Amino acid sequence: MKTLSRFMALAALTGLLIIPVSEARTRVYLRLAPPPIVVEQQTRAPRSGYVWQQGYHRWNGQSYAWTSGTWARAPHRNAQWVPGRWVQERRGYYWVDGHWTR
């Protein structure tokens, strides 16, 4: 009986180690608000199927730095680009990456 209990405990522990861990996301909170968005002059699309990804302020570890907008090829026909954004919470501001949707 003792051997069976030990075996079950070992099996349970091993099972816990095999369970895939969800992607860990670390939020970095900033107390300093991001500057206003820079209004850029959007150029013409280089080709059909390209989507404009607006520029944004990124944190470089010391200050905000502007990253200019760019044209990107959509990964599939009906893809839409959801721009990244700064979100404000009680602890400060954090960045949410832009992503493609269907």
For residue 27 the two structure tokens come to: 């939020």
pLDDT tens, position by position, for the chain (102 residues)?
A: 555 455 455 444 444 334 444 445 788 899 999 999 999 998 899 999 999 999 999 999 999 999 999 999 999 988 999 999 999 999 999 999 999 998
Give the count of alpha carbons within 13 A of 65, CB side only: 5
Identify the pLDDT of residue 21.
42
Cβ contact 53:98 at 8 Å: yes
Backbone angles phi, psi at 51, to 5 degrees: -125, 140
Name 33's Cβ contacts closer than 8 Å, sequence gap at least 6: 86, 88, 93
pLDDT for the residue 19:
40
The residue whose two tokens read 């500057």 is: 35
To the question of pTM greater than 0.75 for the whole model, the response is: no
Q: Two tokens at 51? A: 């989507």
Domains of the chain, by residue range, sit at: 69-102
